[in-house]
Structure formats: structure tokens, C-alpha cells
Amino acid sequence: LTSSKYPALKRSEVFKQLNSDDLRYFESILTKAEILRPSDSENLSLYNEDWMRKYKGQSKLVLKPKSVEKISLILKYCNQEKLAVVPQGGNTDLVGGSVPVFDEIILSLNNLNKIREFDPLTGIFKCDAGVILENANTFLNKHDYMFPLDLGAKGSCQIGGCVSTNAGGLRLLRYGSLHGSVLGLEVVLPNGEIVSSMHSLRKDNTGYDLKQLFIGAEGTIGVVTGASILTAPNPKAVNVSFLALEDFDKILKLYGKAKSELCENLSAFEFMDKESMTLTDIHLKGELAFPLGENEHPFYILIEVSGSNKSHNDAKLESFLEGAMEEDLIIDGTIAQDETELQNLWKWRETVPESCLSQGGVYKYDVSLPLKDLYSLVDATNARLISKGLMSENPNDKDPNKPAIGATGYGHIGDGNLHLNIAVNEYTKEIEEALEPFVYEFVQSKKGSISAEHGLGLQKKNYVKYSRSPIEIQMMKDLKHHYDPNGIMNPYKYI
Ligand code: FAD
Ligand code: 2HG
Ligand code: ZN
């Protein structure tokens, strides 16, 4: 068996191939509803292929257990039998981490989806790993709380998947990373042992903070089955402004001003370039009018302010925008007048990832860079693709012989996180070779990180050294070997 999309990778002989005894075992511990077999090939392919339609495995079995105990039995058996396993949440991963490379068993958390408890005084929320982020947030909103993480994939991604990628998202600027808001986890180790650490403590310095190992581990050392999260009170007043700017330097000046004037009310500061808005406009097909008339400016910013007092919140935003106009930082702008307008403005930002994919395919690079260098990677990538003859010099010239459409940049300014997306008509080896290791070398030269918030998965497997030293990589391998000596958990990926 070889991977059709990745001929350079070979299936490891260490792993057993699934046989009828294995199937009989799984049938003995699971109900029919918890097993997806090859007879259901259409559904099986949904689990084998990733969101970008870029990575595709050939698994013949999806297990969807309804209890932690069943997950424990599955892993114990797979470990004994050396059957490789890919944990899968909402399958919205953007680095090829959530799908098998060959015939690994897919362990889906879809059926482990109960909210366990919530304390309205402390805001501590406990749930199964398979709870969908949007459902968690809807539940919390009813109690006047909110999940401290928000992202465009909220309708599909799961709490366990977000924890396992240490997803950052749109609110990190204000609410911090999951490394801070996760208070405890329940995890099943590869040998089937259940580690129950669903703590409710803000402070707990009892030795090593073991849960941190699983936050961002991408399913390589165990399966997260439950999470205890410190949630945040729902702000009573939220407003959003959408602004146009003429250069990237003004974005940085505006960000400095926003930090000092909007302070604790600033809850998002997102940027999009003209090209990402053009692709979104094409993708939305006129469903939403562009917020600022024509899309004709080089850069756009979405600012969200939130607080407990509406008039105070609005007054702060208005005075900030007036100042920004006077200082010539912004060319144009609009403020949402009601909840619908607010949601529509967010839609222009949250739809960018799928819009960049909509022309056929997309190469995504999620990187951290010093703010002053953040956008230079987009310019450098476009120049590189043009010099290699893979893209037209004029973005309006749709030359069918050029496989790349162009590089766009957007992301989380407050987190120093650029999303470099290269929209393409098709995935080709030539484009990939033009981009890699070029992008990673660029990031390393600026002392950035090759993975800001999406993880490493399969995509960045060969490039970890651009952001981690040999000793750091060795320590990661040691940890992996300690917890997963048979290497059954999410093999062929970054570790
Ligand atoms: P999956 O995609 O199923 O899995 C992700 C990884 O975690 C895989 O390696 C998988 O093996 C592992 N895994 C999943 N569940 C478990 C578990 N229970 N135990 C152990 N391992 C597990 N990311 C951001 O950081 N910020 C964003 O703003 C953002 N926006 C996005 C917008 C869109 C439209 C899309 C498609 C993705 C976006 N992402 C973003 C990517 C992000 O990684 C995922 O959306 C989310 O974190 C993954 O959750 P999931 O449940 O889909 O996990
Ligand atoms: C976002 O911020 C996500 O929208 C996805 O992290 C970014 O698709 C991307 O490159
Ligand atoms: Zn992001």
C-alpha cells in the first residue's frame, strides 16, 4: 500500500493490517451505530479527506465510540495489536493532521458530545471532547457566558480538536490561548489508561503541568476525551468597525493607537488585504454587499470592541475612529448599527479561508512574524511565483496556463499571526516546490514561527527544524516514545 497523493511516504511495516478478528473485536465492544465500514464508502470518504481536499487517506474503518471507556478499550487493543489510529474531531484541520495517510483506523469523537457541568459563579465549563464549539458557546450564552475561543470553523470543530491543535482564533488578543484557559483535561493514553484530570482550579502548582502536553499535541500521544475550561462573562455591549487603509505601516500605527485608546475593550484586531477581499467577494457571489462600496483599498481592518456598558463602548470606538481619521490612518470605514450588520462585517473576515480555496485549491501557511515584517512575506511570495512563471504578473489577467492565482495575506495582527494563502487552480508539484522550503526559510530568517496556531500535521512534518532546535526536537521525540512506544497515535505526521 502506498499513499496515492504522497508517493514519497511509505506505509510502515510495523503496523498490522486490519483483519476480520480485529473487526470482530470492535463489533463486540461497539454497537452498529458506532462503526462505519467500507460498505458505507461515501461516508467513509468524508472522514478520509481533509477540509481543503488536499490530503486523502485510505482508511477502511471509522470507529465512533459513545463512551470514554470504549475509547480506552479501543486504544488498548490497537496498542496490543499495533494498529495505527488517527483521532478525529470536526476534521477542519488545515495541515493534514486529522486524516489518515494510509489505512490507519479513524477514531472519531463525534459521538462523545455531552456537556458535563457548568458553574455560573466561576464560569468553569466541563464537556466531552466531541462537543462542537458553536454548541458550547450557545449553551454558555444562555448563562451569560461565552467560550474564550472563536473561529470560522465553529460550526464543525470540536472542543477536543481545538485543544489538540491549541487553536488561537479571533479572540486570543483579549482572552488568551487555551494554554491558559484549559484548567483540566481527561485523556486516554495509547495503552488505554484513562487520566482523569478535569480540575476546576485556577491555581494548582502540584509539579509538572501535565495537561499542557496534550494542548497542541495533535493527537500524537493520546486522545483528549474531556476538557474543563475557564469561560468568560458575555460582554453586554459589542461593536464592530470595518476600515480601509492605504498601506501596511498604517495598520501597525492604528494597532498601537487601538491598544492604547481602546485598552480592555479591544477584543479583535483582524486584517485582510485587497486580494483576500476580492476572493471573498467572488465566493459570496453578491450575497452580501461589500461594506465600503467598492473593494478598492489595499488593506482592511476589522476592529471589535466589547465591554459591559454600551454607551461607554460606543463612545470609545467613535472617538478612536475620529482620531484615526484626523491622523490620516484610515481612508474609509463603517460601524455596525445593529447585530445583523455586526454579523455581516464578521462574515467578510470569517469567510476568507474558504474563499481562498474556492478557485480550485489553496496552499496555506500559518506563521508568526515580527509585526514589522508580517506582510513582506506576501509580497515575497508573489514575486517568487511570478519569477518561476507560475503566476501572472497582473492579477486581473486570468492566464489558464498559470496554475497559481496569487498570494493573499490576512490574519490576527494582535497575535503577530499572518495567514499566507496562495489560491491556485490546481495543486501541482511545481507550486509546492516553489513555496517550500522558501516560505519556511523566510520565516526562519525573521525569527518567526512556521506554525502560529494550526499545528504541524503532515504538511510541516519536514520543516520543524526551521522553528525548533535539534535538542527541542529530540525532547519531543522522547516524549512521544515514552507515551506511545509503539507509535500507533497519528503516525507519519510531524513526530
Ligand atoms: P480535527 O481537524 O478533527 O483535528 C485536528 C488535529 O487534532 C488532528 O491532528 C487530530 O488528529 C487531532 N484531534 C482531534 N480531536 C482530538 C482529540 N479529541 N484528541 C486528540 N487528538 C485530537 N484554527 C485556529 O487556530 N484559528 C482559527 O481562526 C481557525 N479558523 C479556521 C477556519 C476554518 C474555516 C477552518 C476550516 C479551520 C480553521 N482553523 C483555525 C483550523 C483549526 O485547527 C480547526 O478549526 C480546529 O482547531 C480543529 O478542530 P477539529 O475538531 O476540526 O479537529
Ligand atoms: C483564520 O484565521 C483561520 O481564519 C484560517 O486561522 C486561516 O485558512 C487560513 O489560512
Ligand atoms: Zn487564524
Non-local CB neighbours of 245 within 8 Å, separated by 6+ positions: 251, 254, 297, 298, 299, 300, 301, 329, 330, 331
Mean of pLDDT over the chain? 96
Probe residue for ligand 2, chosen from 53, 151, 460 as the CB with the greatest number of ligand atoms within 8 Å? 151
Same domain, 445 and 369: yes
The pLDDT of residue 2 is above 70: no
253 found inside a domain:
yes
Buried b (16+ CB within 10 A) or exposed e, 423-455: bbbebeeebeebbbebbbebbbeeebbbbbbbb
How many structural domains compose the chain?
A: 3
CA distances from 245 to 324, 371, 410, 415 (A): 11, 16, 14, 19
103 found inside a domain:
no
| CB of 167 sitting under 6 A from ligand 1 | yes
Q: What is the DSSP code string of 349-411?
A: HHTHHHHHHTTSEEEEEEEE--GGGTTHHHHHHHHHHHHTTSB-SSTT---TT--EEEEEEEE
Q: Give the CATH number of the domain where residue 207 resides.
A: 3.30.465.10
132-148: per-residue pLDDT in tens? 999 999 999 999 999 99
247-295: per-residue pLDDT in tens? 999 999 999 999 999 999 999 999 999 999 999 999 999 899 999 988 8
Q: What is the pTM of this model?
A: 0.97
163 within 8 A of 228, measured Cβ to Cβ? no
493 found inside a domain:
no
63 within 8 A of 107, measured Cβ to Cβ? yes
CA 382, CA 390: separation in Å to the nearest integer? 10
225 found inside a domain:
yes
What is residue 295's predicted lDDT score, i.e. its pLDDT? 80
Between helix 68-81 and helix 20-29 the angle, nearest 10°, is 160
What is residue 6's predicted lDDT score, i.e. its pLDDT? 55
Give the distance (Å) from ligand 2 centre to CA of residue 189.
Answer: 30
Give the distance (Å) from ligand 2 centre to CA of residue 353.
Answer: 5
Give the distance (Å) from ligand 3 centre to CA of residue 428.
Answer: 25
Determine the atom of ligand 2 nearest the C-alpha atom of 350.
4
203 found inside a domain:
yes
What is residue 294's predicted lDDT score, i.e. its pLDDT? 84
The pLDDT of residue 1 is above 50: no
What is residue 187's predicted lDDT score, i.e. its pLDDT? 98
What is residue 7's predicted lDDT score, i.e. its pLDDT? 56
The pLDDT of residue 318 is above 80: yes
The continuous run of DSSP H or E covering 108 comes out as strand 105-108
Residue bearing the bigger pLDDT, 39 or 302: 302
The continuous run of DSSP H or E covering 224 comes out as strand 223-230
Same domain, 377 and 392: yes
Angle at 348 between CA 147 and CA 354, to 5 degrees: 85
| CB of 96 sitting under 6 A from ligand 1 | no
Label residue 43 by pLDDT band (50, 70, 90). confident
92 found inside a domain:
no
Q: Give the CATH number of the domain where residue 327 resides.
A: 3.30.70.2190
| CB of 91 sitting under 6 A from ligand 1 | yes
Non-local CB neighbours of 332 within 8 Å, separated by 6+ positions: 243, 244, 292, 293, 297
349-394: per-residue pLDDT in tens? 999 999 999 999 999 999 999 999 999 999 999 999 999 999 999 8
Query: Which range, of 28-32, 41-45, 435-439, averages the lowest pLDDT?
Result: 41-45
Give the distance (Å) from ligand 1 centre to CA of residue 93.
Answer: 4
Probe residue for ligand 2, chosen from 366, 415, 422 as the CB with the greatest number of ligand atoms within 8 Å? 366
Write out the residue range of the structural domain in which residue 178 sits.
Answer: 115-233
CA 244, CA 333: separation in Å to the nearest integer? 6
What is residue 246's predicted lDDT score, i.e. its pLDDT? 97
